[in-house]
């Protein structure tokens, strides 16, 4: 018999992986794992360096076998995801906690109370009581040009670094970004229907305007 601790008065949310690994969310700042086959227990927790807050609690959890992704909803409106390390399941020398790699979180609003994978496209449904969001996996965008690096860090935000000056900026938008293009004078982000342009202005990047453009790819050309 194995005893697992948790918060009193909270209903546990449990996911079963590969028929022998129990993953349990009990409203704590950790996910608890019980490997029935190995007789091993361990925990995983969201890390602040990935954008989580200290003491951010996990309310619910689910696993997608097709993607090898473990998703968990927090009380701060973030979806934490751990990707299963390929081949780790069959390797006896790998510790349980090393079988998972934490990904950059998806940021929503409210406290996430339910989370579930579904449909043939392996979409993720997220319930925060007031609404339900349907999420699909998307590769993060990045671009490097004229000593400017732009890297998407969440569905709605991009980190921009001007290597020539050492300046770094964090851009947050109201759209789910599908692409980014950077130059020394401007940064463009788009979602396939709209393009938003940001320009350096002193110590910040200001919104220089937006326009409609139904295109999956956008590029900026400077005419000298």
The correct CATH number of 13-135 out of 3.90.105.10, 3.40.50.10860, 3.40.50.720, 2.130.10.10 is: 2.130.10.10
CATH topology of domain 142-212: Thrombin, subunit H (2.40.10)
In the prediction, which pLDDT does 9 show? 59
Q: What are phi and psi of 168, to 5 degrees?
A: -130, 135
SS3 55: coil
Average pLDDT of the residues in 94-120: 88
Which pLDDT tens digit goes with each residue over 17-69? Answer: 989 899 999 999 999 999 988 888 999 999 988 889 998 999 999 999 999 99
Give the CA-trace dihedral at 216, 217, 220, 223, to 10 degrees: -110
What is the pLDDT at residue 176? Answer: 85
CA atoms within 13 A on the CB side of 187: 34
Q: How far apart are CA 61 and CA 78, in angstroms?
A: 12
Per-residue confidence at 150, pLDDT binned at 50, 70, 90?
Answer: very high
CA-CA-CA-CA torsion sign (53, 56, 60, 62):
positive
Same fold, 13-135 and 142-212: no
C-beta separation of 126 from 59 below 8 A: no
Name the residue with higher pLDDT: 126 or 90. Answer: 126
pLDDT (mean) for 165-191: 91
Cα(22)–Cα(154) distance, integer angstroms: 28
Integer Cα distance of 42 and 30 in angstroms: 10
Phi, psi of 98 (to 5 degrees): -85, 0
Q: Look at residue 1 in the predicted model and tell me its pLDDT.
A: 53
Joined together, the tokens standing for residue 221 give 């050309």
**Sheet bearing 40-44, strands edge to edge:** 13-17, 21-25, 31-35, 40-44
pLDDT band at 93 (very low <50, low <70, confident <90, very high): low
Residue listed under structure tokens 């005893």:
3
- Calpha distance 215→189 (Å, rounded): 12
pLDDT at 202: 82
Which SS3 state, helix, strand or coil, does residue 160 take? strand
Residue 5, pLDDT score: 58
Q: What residues does each domain of the chain span?
A: 13-135, 142-212
pLDDT at 10 over 70: no
Is it the case that residue 125 has pLDDT exceeding 70?
A: yes
Nearest C-alpha neighbor of 74 from the set 51, 50, 58 = 58
- Sheet holding 123-127: strands in order across? 114-118, 123-127, 132-135
Of all residues in the chain, the percent with pLDDT exceeding 70 is 92
Average pLDDT, the chain: 88
Please tell me the pTM assigned to this model.
0.68
**What would the mean pLDDT of 147-151 be, rounded to a whole number?**
94
Task: Give the model's pLDDT for residue 224.
Answer: 41
- The DSSP code for 51 is T
pLDDT tens-place string over residues 192-219: 899 999 998 888 899 999 999 898 888 8
CA distances (Å), origin 68, targets 1, 8, 71, 88, 116:
28, 31, 10, 12, 14
């Amino acid at each position: 018999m194995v005893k697992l601790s948790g918060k009193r008065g909270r209903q546990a949310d449990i996911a079963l992986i590969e028929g022998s690994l129990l993953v349990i969310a009990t409203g704590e700042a950790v996910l608890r794992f019980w490997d029935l086959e190995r007789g091993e227990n361990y925990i995983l927790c969201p890390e602040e360096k990935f954008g989580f807050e200290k003491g951010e609690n996990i309310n619910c959890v689910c696993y997608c076998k097709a993607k090898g992704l473990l998703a968990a909803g927090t009380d701060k409106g973030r979806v934490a995801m751990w990707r299963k390390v390929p081949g780790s399941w069959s390797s006896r020398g790998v510790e349980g906690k090393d079988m998972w790699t934490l990904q950059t979180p998806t940021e929503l609003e409210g406290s996430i109370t339910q989370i579930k994978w579904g449909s043939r496209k392996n979409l993720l449904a997220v319930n925060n009581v007031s609404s339900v969001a349907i999420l699909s996996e998307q590769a993060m965008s990045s671009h490097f040009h004229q000593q400017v690096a732009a890297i998407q860090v969440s569905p709605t935000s991009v980190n921009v670094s001007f290597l020539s000056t050492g300046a770094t900026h964090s851009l947050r938008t109201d759209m789910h970004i599908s692409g980014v293009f950077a130059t020394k004078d401007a940064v463009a982000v788009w979602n396939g229907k709209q393009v938003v342009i940001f320009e350096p202005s002193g110590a910040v990047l200001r919104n220089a305007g937006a326009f409609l453009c139904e295109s999956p790819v956008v590029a900026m050309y400077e005419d000298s």
